[in-house]
Structure 1
Amino acid sequence: MARIGSTFNVWWSETMPVEKKFNPIPLVLAALAIFIYFFFWRVGEPAPDLARSAPIRAALESGDPQTWVAIGDSITAGTNSPFRYTDRVEEILRSRYPRARLEFQNAGVPGDTASGGLNRLERDVLSRNPDVVFVEFGWNDFKNGVKPEDFESDLSQLVGQLKAGGIPVIYLLTTTQVDVALANWKIKKRNAIIRDIAEENDCGLIDLYGYFALATQKGSSLDDLMSNDNIHPSGAGQEVIAQAIAHEFIP
């Protein structure tokens, strides 16, 4: 950027009359910063899909038993965090719905991929007859070099089996961001696949990547939200995930 500014100033000095000279570089940099902020980083909190969650909210309100299951990798398992987002969601929703009889079961397995989740779906999810299922995969697929088309196929099959198993409400979770630009670029590509699958199968979508970006807008840093390995959410990061999920069920 310094070289660009120097070249620009030389050109400006040679082409502008002396009495009209001024340094345009601060204005250029300010405009660039505004562009990046509004078009790349600004993320607003999404409105909950109240139509999708209406029957679940009614069950929570009335005290009908509810079994939820989250299937995923170490992020769901709560690696490097003092608690798991599933436990916090239970606490938040029981506070909001005093009559709720909610059990949010955790089927997170560290190191797992969408393919691994597909292989254990019957044992860890369908056999529990859940009312709601949350699916969180993508990080290990990305880290292990699984081709995007294979990830898409595995996740699509997993969602298809959930629907065939009669699961009434399914939510897909996007992958959280990290403090590495190249990794985030690849994560965004995987998240685009997750979004497409959610839309094609009429599943809910909880954009964890967006919620983490929103948290940083509000003053948190990624160092706060991530543990020391820069992969697994810290307790603060798990809290962001829990609040994002609970947000879908609180009008």
Structure 2
Amino acid sequence: MARIGSTFNVWWSETMPVEKKFNPIPLVLAALAIFIYFFFWRVGEPAPDLARSAPIRAALESGDPQTWVAIGDSITAGTNSPFRYTDRVEEILRSRYPRARLEFQNAGVPGDTASGGLNRLERDVLSRNPDVVFVEFGWNDFKNGVKPEDFESDLSQLVGQLKAGGIPVIYLLTTTQVDVALANWKIKKRNAIIRDIAEENDCGLIDLYGYFALATQKGSSLDDLMSNDNIHPSGAGQ
């Protein structure tokens, strides 16, 4: 009950809790890291998205310079985790591709929304001329009462500007699940919007919600995968 109560406090308060939970579970085979390690296959699909990932693989293998940028909210920024998912992904890829010249820049801002990301897109993403961009928004739009149609408009414009800016590869991330059924129902509505925008714009989709669900189905505890604010992934969840 304490976790549920703290979750509702987070949804409706303006400030995020500062208490942190550093999970001792080993950080290997974490959901997002595995996902990127095997290059982005979607939940339920039999094989990786090889057509999309092939040029990325080739650049990493050959040592061609690569700039990746992740834009998002506190989940991207790594709040309540001992590290950011971008750090973990870069570590894995450098291990797998010794010649890689990869710079993975993190443009996560705690508390940000899709509208906020749109407003800072030029400064934080387009100005860096990235080869790959990861986009993760939704939790704060939900928490702050942004209407689904407004969230859809903001995210669509953001993706449209990325495409107009000539970004070769774009991945959208769904947001994570929690242990409250009503919240998950609302999160699923936002995630459906994210899926539709990804499909309409030929973007890759990294289904965080689906991978957390899959992990719990295979015996992992959501308590272990999430920090104790029940929003941000813990070290194990990263």
Question: Which whole-Å CA distance do the structure 1 matches of 2:206 and 2:235 have between them?
Answer: 19
Question: Which whole-Å CA distance do the structure 1 matches of 2:114 and 2:189 have between them?
Answer: 16
Is the contact made by 2:71 and 2:133 (CA closer than 8 Å) also made in structure 1?
A: yes
Per-residue CA distance 1:4-25 (angstroms, 9 max, x = gap): 9999999999999999999999
Distance 1:7 1:124, change over 3 A: closer
Is the contact made by 2:23 and 2:234 (CA closer than 8 Å) also made in structure 1?
A: no
Percent identity, please.
100
Distance 1:68 1:218, change over 3 A: same
The alignment partner of 1:199 has SS state of: helix
The alignment partner of 2:231 has SS state of: coil
Q: Larger relative contact order (C-alpha < 8 A, sep ≥ 6)?
A: 2
Is the contact made by 1:9 and 1:23 (CA closer than 8 Å) also made in structure 2?
A: no
Q: TM-score, normalised by structure 2?
A: 0.81
Distance 1:203 1:125, change over 3 A: same
How many angstroms does 1:101 deviate by? 0.9
How many angstroms does 1:47 deviate by? 3.2
How many angstroms does 1:184 deviate by? 0.4
Question: Which whole-Å CA distance do the structure 1 matches of 2:16 and 2:112 have between them?
Answer: 62
Is the contact made by 2:173 and 2:206 (CA closer than 8 Å) also made in structure 1?
A: yes
The alignment partner of 1:170 has SS state of: strand
Is the contact made by 2:33 and 2:88 (CA closer than 8 Å) also made in structure 1?
A: no
Aligned residue for 1:249?
none
Question: Which whole-Å CA distance do the structure 2 matches of 1:203 and 1:75 have between them?
Answer: 20
Distance 1:11 1:121, change over 3 A: closer
The alignment partner of 1:83 has SS state of: coil
The alignment partner of 2:92 has SS state of: helix
Question: Which whole-Å CA distance do the structure 2 matches of 1:24 and 1:76 have between them?
Answer: 21
Is the contact made by 1:68 and 1:103 (CA closer than 8 Å) also made in structure 2?
A: yes
List gaps (5 residues or longer) in structure 1.
238-251
Deviant stretches of 4+, over 4 Å? 1-46
Q: Please, what is the CA RMSD of the aligned residues?
A: 14.8
Is the contact made by 2:32 and 2:208 (CA closer than 8 Å) also made in structure 1?
A: no
Is the contact made by 2:12 and 2:143 (CA closer than 8 Å) also made in structure 1?
A: no
Is the contact made by 2:39 and 2:53 (CA closer than 8 Å) also made in structure 1?
A: no
Bigger fraction of residues in helix: 1
Distance 1:36 1:189, change over 3 A: farther
Structure whose CA Rg is larger? 1
Question: Which whole-Å CA distance do the structure 2 matches of 1:169 and 1:82 have between them?
Answer: 28
Question: Which whole-Å CA distance do the structure 1 matches of 2:141 and 2:207 have between them?
Answer: 18
Question: Which whole-Å CA distance do the structure 2 matches of 1:79 and 1:21 have between them?
Answer: 10
Is the contact made by 1:114 and 1:138 (CA closer than 8 Å) also made in structure 2?
A: yes
Distance 1:40 1:213, change over 3 A: farther
Is the contact made by 2:37 and 2:93 (CA closer than 8 Å) also made in structure 1?
A: no
Q: TM-score, normalised by structure 1?
A: 0.77
Question: Which whole-Å CA distance do the structure 2 matches of 1:18 and 1:77 have between them?
Answer: 14
The alignment partner of 1:86 has SS state of: helix
Distance 1:127 1:11, change over 3 A: closer
Distance 1:61 1:127, change over 3 A: same
Per-residue CA distance 1:69-124 (angstroms, 9 max, x = gap): 00000000000000000000001111111111111110000000000000000000
